[in-house]
């Protein structure tokens, strides 16, 4: 199939390239329409009990979440001072006129509610509400942005600190946008320099752009189509650009390197392209398929945030594979021997048939037990801190401590110790007439550890709403325990438990419930694909186990850095909260596992090819490593630069993503591929290639 594709592309090279370029440009044009349709939410399980409660509160009870919480600081004067009160009322009047604001509530408008003032009586709250639809995160954030921009800071006698959901959402999104521009300004020039060095020639170094740009623009179209039917997170675009260029580099290195090999062996340009598609092209196809099925596991999770990354990941991998198999071979056929024009590094153009990678492999295989134990011990040491891992969701502390939203959050924590925060919402549809049952339940709730008090029930028609005020923060493991305890109590049928803590708990539970299915999907899919590709039972099992160990080492390092607070001199300053964002960890794990499988297929492809050519297990591994390790190492280095630039971000979750992926690909290209794989290949010997006879008919024959 791949050889036939190569022949077709060689015969129709100009037409194929032209049609593909027209299609990709059109895809980018239409796909750009997606930018205005993407949202910034997606962290809730929309099928959960808390989501039903939130819909009930909004639609039936017309309850709104504050879009902004303003702390009004009166300096050295008491907040009840007439001059301060006048200034505060004037401020509240202005805030109430902001487009989208439906109402305001403050210490002054409530006649001096004690719960709305600070401990020292020199600051007070002003809550701002907006009448918006459930899950309309874009409007929520934009109103928060307007309030922060227009009212934060020193205003006459008052100093205003802005916090709240809309403000924090906008602050995080805005900070991420600025940080990514900085990261790109570092990564892109450095990547181009490294590409020229790795490929050895300027013409060859441009080849990743063919795949990368194709993958990015094509993915924009698919994301636009997805956005017509479901909510898609704007952060999915970050994965598209990062992974698009990363896979472009990986696949271009593999294809161009093989094309050069065939040319240097005396084949014609046409035959070289055909052989490249038939060998490296097949590797790209199966490699891409393993990455695709891995990223597709994100589609199983109930959070739209993770689903969005699944959509983006599947899209970018599929288009990257198409870019490597169609326009790139066509361009190689047109460029021909000019691929080596613009020499930068001669040794990068003509790789050695037998060099340091083969030498390394042979040395490793002379001492396979020692190398295996040493490598596994090192990965185990890196993985050890994972026992301290703890999960939560992002809040204002994900921003730099010097950011205004983070400062506002700290002011609330320090100066409003009586501030009750987000209540647990108890909704009893049709509860009127069943007050005795309800009271028995509330009596039990009041005795649950973590409950501070219970508000007076509010009646809306036949429905009853009660607020349970917790004494703990809403997005913590303690809050999860509290919600589970409240839900576990015997209660009247039909009661819904909602609120911020319940939303957090349901999101965490949704991830935990889906995780075994996602892991099973990834493991089974990868085992089947690598078996089909290699014809071996042993190699797929080793690949999954080694990649799982590499992933554990990465998560251990992330825990050590971002929970224990180490290496700030390297990754930059951040607020240590003692937890990691669950969604970001899932994303890092899936991306890392997918990329590890990418490199696994690259390496096994060349080893298998040499083994089928008649070489012994040892020589097949040595030659395969010589011909692929250079590609894997270069690809890992370039990908580490692309993602490593993310550590410049001031947003902890983005910093963690950059650090995690960069570390993982470097670990994978060195300890795993250069040491563990050849050592284990030597230990298993010819048994590496064993499979039952009845299963061999399902594998590739050459």
Contact present, 105 and 112 (Cβ < 8 Å): no
In 3D space, the residue among 259, 264, 261 whose CA is nearest the CA of residue 276 turns out to be 259
* Of residues 393 and 418, more confidently modeled: 393
pLDDT for the residue numbered 401? 85
Residues 207 and 299 occupy one common structural domain: yes
CA distances from 196 to 106, 188, 622 (A): 61, 13, 27
| Residues in the chain, overall count | 702
pLDDT for the residue numbered 136? 65
pLDDT for the residue numbered 379? 94
661 inside domain: yes
Q: How far apart are CA 482 and CA 468, in angstroms?
A: 11
Cα-Cα-Cα-Cα torsion 349, 365, 281, 352, nearest 10 degrees, comes to: 10
Neighbouring-strand partners of residue 130: 101
46 inside domain: no
Predicted model pTM: 0.85
Residues 577 and 684 occupy one common structural domain: yes
* Percentage with pLDDT > 90 across the chain: 28
Contact present, 630 and 357 (Cβ < 8 Å): yes
Cα angle 44, 46, 50; round to 5: 75
Residues 389 and 422 occupy one common structural domain: no
C-alpha gyration radius of the chain: 29
User: What is the arithmetic mean of pLDDT over 483-494?
Assistant: 92
Could you give the count of Cα atoms lying within 13 Å of 337 in the half-sphere of its Cβ? Answer: 7
Neighbouring-strand partners of residue 161: 71
Distance of CA 239 to the CA centre of its chain: 7
| 3-state SS class at 673 | helix
Residues 217 and 311 occupy one common structural domain: yes
* Of residues 554 and 346, more confidently modeled: 554
Residue 311 has pLDDT above 60, yes or no: yes
Residues 399 and 508 occupy one common structural domain: yes
The CATH number given to whatever domain includes residue 379 is: 1.20.1640.10
Question: For the chain, how long is the longest CA-to-CA vector?
Answer: 93
Residues 257 and 343 occupy one common structural domain: yes
* 205 band by pLDDT with thresholds 50, 70 and 90: confident
Contact present, 311 and 206 (Cβ < 8 Å): no
56 inside domain: no
Contact present, 665 and 588 (Cβ < 8 Å): no
Contact present, 118 and 82 (Cβ < 8 Å): no
Residues 453 and 525 occupy one common structural domain: no
Residues 386 and 522 occupy one common structural domain: yes
Q: Is 337 buried (19+), middle (13-18) or exposed (0-12) by CB count in 10 A?
A: exposed
Neighbours of 575 (CB within 10 A): 18
Q: How far apart are CA 57 and CA 595, in angstroms?
A: 43
pLDDT for the residue numbered 395? 76
Contact present, 414 and 451 (Cβ < 8 Å): no
Residue 134 has pLDDT above 60, yes or no: no
The CATH number given to whatever domain includes residue 486 is: 3.30.70.920
26 inside domain: yes
What spatial distance separates the first Cα and last Cα of the chain, rounded to whole Å?
A: 12
Neighbours of 663 (CB within 10 A): 22
Task: From 170, 192, 219, give the residue that closes a domain.
Answer: 170
What residue numbers bound the domain in which 473 lies? 405-503
Residue with tokens 């050590």: 560
Residue 517 has pLDDT above 90, yes or no: yes
Residues 516 and 591 occupy one common structural domain: yes
Task: From 469, 503, 537, give the residue that closes a domain.
Answer: 503
Task: Give the best-scoring range by mean pLDDT among 314-318, 431-435, 652-656, 673-677.
Answer: 314-318
48 inside domain: no
Residue 133 has pLDDT above 70, yes or no: no
Residue 507 has pLDDT above 60, yes or no: yes
The CATH number given to whatever domain includes residue 90 is: 3.30.70.1320
Residue 374 has pLDDT above 90, yes or no: yes
Q: Of 239-253, 337-351, 678-692, which gets the smallest average pLDDT?
A: 337-351
User: What is the arithmetic mean of pLDDT over 104-124?
Assistant: 88
DSSP 8-state secondary structure symbol assigned to residue 685: G
363 inside domain: yes
User: What is the arithmetic mean of pLDDT over 173-186?
Assistant: 81
* 352 band by pLDDT with thresholds 50, 70 and 90: low
DSSP 8-state secondary structure symbol assigned to residue 455: P
Question: Phi, psi at residue 136, to the nearest 5°?
Answer: -85, 75
Residue 415 has pLDDT above 90, yes or no: no
Cα-Cα-Cα-Cα torsion 460, 463, 464, 470, nearest 10 degrees, comes to: -100
Q: How far apart are CA 105 and CA 638, in angstroms?
A: 53
Residue 556 has pLDDT above 80, yes or no: yes
pLDDT for the residue numbered 351? 61
Q: How far apart are CA 3 and CA 147, in angstroms?
A: 61
- 589-632 pLDDT per residue, tens: 998 888 888 888 888 888 888 888 888 888 888 888 887 777 78
192 inside domain: no
Neighbours of 243 (CB within 10 A): 31
Residues 561 and 667 occupy one common structural domain: yes
Residue 702 has pLDDT above 60, yes or no: no
Reported in sequence order, the residue ranges of 309-462 that DSSP labels E, i.e. its strands, are: 391-392, 424-428, 451-454, 458-460
Question: Phi, psi at residue 51, to the nearest 5°?
Answer: -65, -40
Q: How far apart are CA 519 and CA 626, in angstroms?
A: 33
Q: DSSP string covering 380-414, please?
A: HHHHGGGGG--EE---GGGS-TTSHHHHHHHHHHH
pLDDT for the residue numbered 426? 92
Mean pLDDT of the chain: 86
Contact present, 510 and 304 (Cβ < 8 Å): no
Task: From 351, 383, 417, give the residue that closes a domain.
Answer: 351
190 inside domain: no
- 249-299 pLDDT per residue, tens: 888 888 888 888 888 888 898 999 999 999 888 889 988 999 999 999 999
CA distances from 430 to 21, 435, 438 (A): 61, 10, 11
Residues 372 and 498 occupy one common structural domain: no
* Of residues 208 and 557, more confidently modeled: 557
Residue 443 has pLDDT above 90, yes or no: yes
Residues 625 and 686 occupy one common structural domain: yes
DSSP 8-state secondary structure symbol assigned to residue 674: I
Q: How far apart are CA 257 and CA 339, in angstroms?
A: 11
Residue 166 has pLDDT above 90, yes or no: no
> Per the structure, how many domains does the chain have?
4
- 655-692 pLDDT per residue, tens: 998 899 899 988 988 888 888 988 998 888 888 888 88
Q: DSSP string covering 114-148, please?
A: GGGB-TTSSEEEEEEEE---TT-HHHHHHHHHHHH
């Amino acid at each position: 199939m791949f050889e036939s594709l190569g022949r077709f592309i060689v015969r129709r090279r100009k037409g194929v390239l032209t049609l593909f370029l027209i299609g990709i440009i059109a895809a980018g044009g239409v796909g750009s329409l997606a930018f205005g349709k993407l949202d910034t939410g997606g962290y809730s399980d929309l099928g959960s009990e808390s989501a039903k409660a939130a819909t009930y509160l909004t639609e039936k009870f017309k309850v709104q979440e504050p879009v902004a919480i303003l702390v009004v600081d009166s300096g050295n004067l008491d907040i009840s001072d007439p001059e301060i009160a006048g200034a505060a009322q004037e401020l509240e009047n202005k805030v109430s006129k902001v487009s989208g604001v439906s109402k305001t509530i403050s210490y002054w408008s409530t006649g001096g509610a004690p719960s709305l003032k600070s401990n020292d009586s020199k600051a007070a709250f002003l809550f701002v509400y907006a009448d918006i639809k459930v899950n309309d995160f874009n409007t929520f954030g934009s109103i928060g942005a307007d309030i922060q921009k227009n009212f934060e800071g020193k205003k006459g006698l008052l100093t205003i600190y802005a916090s709240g959901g809309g403000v924090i959402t906008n602050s995080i999104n805005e900070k991420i946008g600025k940080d990514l521009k900085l990261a790109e300004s570092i990564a892109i020039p450095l990547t181009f320099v490294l590409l020229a060095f790795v490929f050895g020639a300027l013409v060859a170094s441009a080849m990743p752009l063919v795949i990368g740009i194709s993958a990015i623009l094509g993915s924009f179209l698919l994301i636009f189509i997805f956005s017509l039917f479901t909510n898609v997170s704007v952060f999915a675009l970050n994965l598209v650009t990062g992974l698009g260029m990363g896979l472009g580099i990986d696949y271009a290195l593999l294809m161009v390197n093989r094309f050069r090999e065939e040319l240097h062996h005396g084949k014609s340009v046409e035959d070289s392209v055909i052989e490249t598609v038939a060998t490296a092209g097949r590797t790209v196809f199966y490699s891409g398929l393993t990455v695709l099925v891995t990223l597709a596991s994100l589609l199983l999770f109930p959070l739209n945030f993770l689903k969005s990354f699944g959509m983006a990941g599947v899209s970018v991998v599929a288009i990257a594979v198409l870019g490597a198999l169609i326009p790139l071979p066509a361009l190689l056929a047109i460029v021909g021997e000019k691929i080596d024009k613009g020499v930068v590094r001669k040794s990068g153009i003509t790789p050695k048939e037998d060099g340091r990678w083969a030498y390394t492999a042979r040395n490793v295989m002379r001492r396979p037990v020692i190398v295996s134990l040493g490598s596994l011990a090192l990965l185990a040491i890196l993985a050890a801190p994972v026992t301290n891992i703890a999960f939560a969701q992002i809040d204002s502390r994900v921003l730099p401590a010097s950011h205004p939203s983070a400062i506002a959050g700290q002011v609330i924590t320090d100066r409003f110790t009586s501030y009750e925060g987000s209540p647990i919402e108890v909704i009893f549809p049709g509860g009127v007439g069943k007050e005795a049952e309800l009271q028995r339940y509330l009596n039990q709730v009041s005795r649950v550890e973590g409950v501070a008090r219970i508000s007076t029930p509010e009646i809306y028609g036949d429905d009853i709403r009660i607020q349970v005020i917790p004494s703990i923060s809403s997005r913590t493991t303690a809050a999860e325990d509290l919600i589970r305890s409240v839900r576990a109590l015997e209660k009247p049928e039909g009661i819904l438990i909602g609120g911020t803590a319940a939303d957090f708990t349901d999101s965490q539970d949704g991830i935990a419930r889906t995780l075994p299915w996602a892991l099973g999907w990834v493991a089974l899919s990868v085992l089947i694909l690598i078996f089909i590709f290699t014809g071996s039972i042993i190699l797929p099992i080793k690949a999954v186990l080694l990649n799982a160990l590499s992933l554990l080492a990465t998560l251990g390092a992330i825990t050590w850095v971002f929970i224990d607070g180490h290496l700030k001199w390297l990754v930059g300053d951040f607020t240590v909260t003692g937890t990691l964002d669950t969604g970001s960890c899932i994303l890092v794990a899936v991306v890392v596992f997918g990329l590890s499988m990418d490199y696994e297929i690259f390496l096994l492809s060349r080893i298998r090819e040499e083994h089928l050519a008649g070489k012994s297990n040892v020589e097949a591994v040595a030659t395969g490593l010589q011909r692929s390790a250079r590609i894997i190492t270069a690809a890992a280095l370039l990908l580490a630069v692309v993602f490593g630039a993310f550590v410049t971000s001031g947003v902890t979750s983005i910093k963690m993503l950059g650090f995690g992926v960069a570390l993982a690909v470097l670990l994978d290209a060195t300890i795993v591929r250069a040491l563990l794989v050849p050592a284990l290949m030597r230990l298993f010997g010819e048994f590496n290639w064993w499979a039952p006879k009845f299963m061999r008919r399902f594998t590739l024959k050459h």
